Amino acid sequence: LLTAACLAFTVPGNILLIQNLYLILFCLFSGLIVRSPAGPLVAPLGSSVILPCYVDELLLMEGLEVEWRRTDSQTLVHLYQDGESRPEAQQQEYHDRAHFFTDQIQHGNFSLRLDNLTAEDEGRYTCRVYSQQDSGETEVQI
Q: From 1.20.1260.10, 2.60.40.10, 3.30.1360.180, 1.10.3720.10, which CATH number describes the 34-141 domain? A: 2.60.40.10
Domain boundaries, the chain: 34-141
pLDDT of residue 2: 29
- How far from 31 is each of 124, 135, 138, CA to CA, in Å? 22, 6, 12
The Cα 17–Cα 20 span in angstroms is 5
pLDDT string in tens for the chain (142-residue length): 222 222 222 233 333 332 333 323 233 334 678 877 777 889 999 999 999 998 887 777 888 999 999 999 999 999 999 888 898 999 999 999 999 998 898 888 999 999 999 999 999 999 999 988 788 998 999 9
Collapsed DSSP state (helix, strand, coil) of residue 88 = helix
pLDDT of residue 132: 84
Backbone φ and ψ of 30, nearest 5°: -80, -5
pLDDT of residue 93: 93
The Cα 32–Cα 70 span in angstroms is 20
